[in-house]
Amino acid sequence: MKTTTTLISILTFFALTSLAQKPSIDLMFAGDNNGDYVTLDSIYIKNMTQNADVMLYAPDTTINLLWTGLYEFPEDLSSLSLAQNFPNPFKGKTEFNLTLNKRGMAAIEVTNLLGQSIARYQSVLNPGNHLFSFTSGSKNIYLLSVSALGFTKTIKLSSITCSGGNCEIEYLGPGPQNTNLKSVGAVKYLPFEPGDALLFVGYNELGESGILDSPEESKIYTFQYATNIPCIGTPTVDYEGQIYNTVQIYSQCWLKENLNVGTMINAPEMQTNNNIIEKYCMANYEDNCNIVGGLYYWDEMMQYVNVTGTQGICPDGWHIPSDVDWKVLEGAVDSEYKIGNATWGSINWRGADAGGNLKEQGTTNWEPPNTGATDAFGFTALPGGYFVQGEFWGPGYKGYFWSSQVVGKYCRNIDWNTKQVKRQSIGYSDDVAISVRCVKD
């Protein structure tokens, strides 16, 4: 519970910011676990519009976003840039990237919190980007420093497992080109313009929690670490005569059931823009909609509005999940590929077990073997099947879920025989009707 002094300090902080009359906003971050305060270890911020990122470290959990047009790096970054390791926190091994603007000797040293050296690497490196890996030992926190060309940069590494083995720094080879122009790593500079879409990921011992936003003013973001419980403050939603349960999955709040709203029409009659929400029910049998929800064309779901993240046929205060909303969910529930991992941007089957962790357990609604189904986070994905070219397909075998992504019209596919999740683009979305889940604004 925040004290009066803390509240006064925060209000004073924002008041002074507004009086400064500078083109900037200040963002602060906090953590919560169903009402209990959570200490944040670090916060990853990615500007998805400009493909740039930055990492903050506790106790410093505030960033000032200043926009002045063309972003320029501080002068001392021109010679040496050290990007934050990824992932962080990590299990056993992580990677980091450093950049030199000219050939020179680079010395890398990892120490524990007592300042004792536990791993070293030294070599002459050519100009450009260089990728390294670090293998942890018996500690959870390490400091990694790079000295080169008269500069020293330091980042903090957080390991969530202790292997007990020897720490090791390994050179992996040249890194991606021009990373120094996009990833500012351990420094608190981030290119930003109003309207940019930002991804925030908060880390602590409970895991990682993601938030999406396009901030327009100074504000406080609170990462939620509770999961598999009814959404905090919104356990149910009464919408068009039906009660929907909700589920909190870290900082996202989802409807726990597939959406079942509108008037059933018999296929192959077309859903049209007639101010009436229309749905298909599997096999033209309305009781199926009461079990697995309705099936909707993309345009009908969007209510003929081509805006990513629109409300569409969702209740007030909720929206059709964007492609990025799905990526955050997948990273939050997967045991290996976490939020922000590049695998979630690929097409086809991805991840380790996100699909299994999202699927309803058992074979009441899913056909056997219902591979890897744990429903570990309470999402309870169901196999609603799909309708295409006048035919119903896949009940019991396939769960397809729309996103509101205008470009690509991506959907997610969860199957009975895999624990992965498929991301695919349906270009002929005017001829495919699938399930819909809503996520809270």
Query: What's the confidence (pLDDT) of residue 150?
Result: 82
| pLDDT band for position 183 (cuts 50, 70, 90) | very low
CA distances from 96 to 108, 156, 330 (A): 11, 11, 24
The Cβ-side half-sphere exposure at 193, using a 13 Å CA radius, reads 8
- Residue 74 above 80 pLDDT? no
Query: What's the confidence (pLDDT) of residue 190?
Result: 82
Residue 284 token pair? 């033209």
Which part of the chain has CATH 2.60.40.2550? 75-181
Report, as an integer, the average pLDDT of 314-340. 96
What would the pLDDT profile of 86-139 be if each residue is shown by its tens digit?
Answer: 887 788 888 998 888 888 999 999 998 888 899 999 999 988 889 999 998 888
Q: What is the CATH number of domain 4-66+193-224?
A: 2.60.40
Q: Compute the chain's Rg from CA coordinates.
A: 24
Distance from CA of residue 95 to its chain's centroid?
Answer: 19
- Residue 345 above 50 pLDDT? yes
Kindly report the pTM of this predicted structure. 0.71
Other CB atoms within 10 A of residue 259 CB: 29
Report, as an integer, the average pLDDT of 324-339. 96
Enumerate residues 6+ apart whose C-beta is below 8 A from 93. 133, 134, 135, 136
Percent of the chain whose pLDDT exceeds 90: 63
| 3-class state of residue 127 by DSSP | coil
Distance from CA of residue 315 to its chain's centroid?
Answer: 23
Strand partners, 55: 44
Q: How far is the C-alpha of 274 from the C-alpha of 372, rounded, in Å?
A: 42
Report, as an integer, the average pLDDT of 261-265. 97
- Residue 289 above 60 pLDDT? yes
| 3-class state of residue 180 by DSSP | helix
Query: What's the confidence (pLDDT) of residue 58?
Result: 77
Contact 385, 392 (CB under 8 A): yes
243, with CB counted inside 10 A (0-12, 13-18, 19+), is exposed
Q: Which of 336, 382, 372 is nearest to 93 (CA)?
A: 336
75-181 topology per CATH: Immunoglobulin-like (2.60.40)
- Residue 76 above 70 pLDDT? no
Query: What's the confidence (pLDDT) of residue 271?
Result: 94
- Residue 167 above 50 pLDDT? yes
The average confidence (pLDDT) of the chain is: 87
Residue where the block lists tokens 């029409």:
265
Report, as an integer, the average pLDDT of 396-409. 95
